[in-house]
Amino acid sequence: MNTVATLVQSVSDLDAATALYRALLGTEPHTTTPYYVGFAVSDPAGGGLEIGLSPAGADGATAPIPYVGVDDIEAAVAAVTAAGATLKQAPHAVGGGTTIATVTDPDGAVLGLIHRT
């Protein structure tokens, strides 16, 4: 079974949001870049959850995007598109051994797929 591994929230002010989430989660981010800040709520590699912050408009999102962890991102994208999803962003490396892709469901909701090596 695949599980939600990351939840990415679009934010208008990355620095202000980072400060707020740092206080809320009681931890420092493990990744801080101009395009993404990531907080490990529990160990994402061990099946836990990561909360990510992305500058508004960077990924076109207006709502949080759940990223489901998959073993084979190419196969997972093929399976969900065959089941009715539309490819929004093809699989691509984002650093740190991580590859992501996004699709939209029939109602237009954005769903992410993530593979970590």
Q: What pLDDT does 58 receive?
A: 61
Taking the C-alpha atoms of residue 3 and residue 70, their distance in angstroms, rounded to an integer, is 8
Quote the distance between the C-alpha of residue 103 and its chain's center: 12
Burial level of 43, CB count in 10 A (0-12/13-18/19+)? Answer: exposed
**What are the chain's domains?**
3-116 (3.10.180.10)
Tell me the whole-structure pTM to 2 decimals.
0.81
Q: What pLDDT does 104 receive?
A: 92
Per-residue pLDDT in tens (0 to 9) along the chain, 117 residues: 888 889 999 888 999 999 999 988 889 999 999 989 999 887 655 667 899 999 876 666 678 899 999 999 999 999 999 999 999 999 999 988 999 999 999 888 899 999 998
